[in-house]
Structure 1
Amino acid sequence: MLSLAVLIDKVIDIYTWIVIAGAIMSWLVAFGVVNISNKFIRMAVDVLYRLTEPALRPIRRILPNLGGVDISPVILLLGLFFVRSLLWEYVWPAFIR
């Protein structure tokens, strides 16, 4: 069971970094720092979008319109941190006894 908890923790950790990279990449594209006409950049943006959008879309539907500010990645990261904390709060003590 501990191995499964460690695996889930690592998957959450990797997905956290993917969400952060996706948010940063969207800012860079929005502010014109990177050019999406570059094939590599376009591919990276597409991969990050496809990985993060299924989790961000339901959050965006629930959140009110805040103008041009998208806080859905922050909400998703808070949720991931919460799930990770619950995982270690309930799984880890069972192995210490």
Structure 2
Amino acid sequence: MAPFIQTLALILDVAFTLLLVHVIMSWLINFQVLNLGQPLVAQIWQGLNRLFEPVFRPVRNILPNTHPLDLAPLAVFILIIALRDYFLPSLY
């Protein structure tokens, strides 16, 4: 059972890191520090959007509409932290 839990913890850590990169990139793009006209930036941004959009969509359907502010990444952060820090250690 321990290898399964360790693998799940690793997956949650990677998801947390990638989500953090996604949020920081969105800020940098909105403040025009990063330009989507650059091919590398555009490819990373599109890849992260393709990865997280299927996760964000159901969360956005549940949360209230706060149009200029997207709360879906925050809710996913809280979910990942709860799974990683509270539920996984209780399975050991």
TM over 0.5: yes
**Alignment gaps of 5+ in structure 2:** none
Q: Which residue of 2 aligns with 1:35?
A: 35
Aligned length: 91
Identical amino acids, percent of aligned pairs: 29
Deviation at 1:16, TM superposition (A): 0.6
- Structure with bigger gyration radius: 1
Q: Which residue of 2 aligns with 1:87?
A: 88
With the length of structure 2 as denominator, give the TM-score of the two structures.
Answer: 0.92
Q: Secondary structure of 1:87's partner?
A: helix
Runs of 4+ with >2 A deviation: none
Deviation at 1:42, TM superposition (A): 0.3
With the length of structure 1 as denominator, give the TM-score of the two structures.
Answer: 0.87
**1:74 alignment partner AA:** L
Q: Which residue of 1 aligns with 2:63?
A: 63
Deviations 1:26-58 (A, max 9, x none): 111112111100000000101111111111111
**Alignment gaps of 5+ in structure 1:** 93-97
**RMSD across aligned positions (CA):** 1.0
Q: Distance in 1 between matches of 2:17 and 2:34?
A: 20
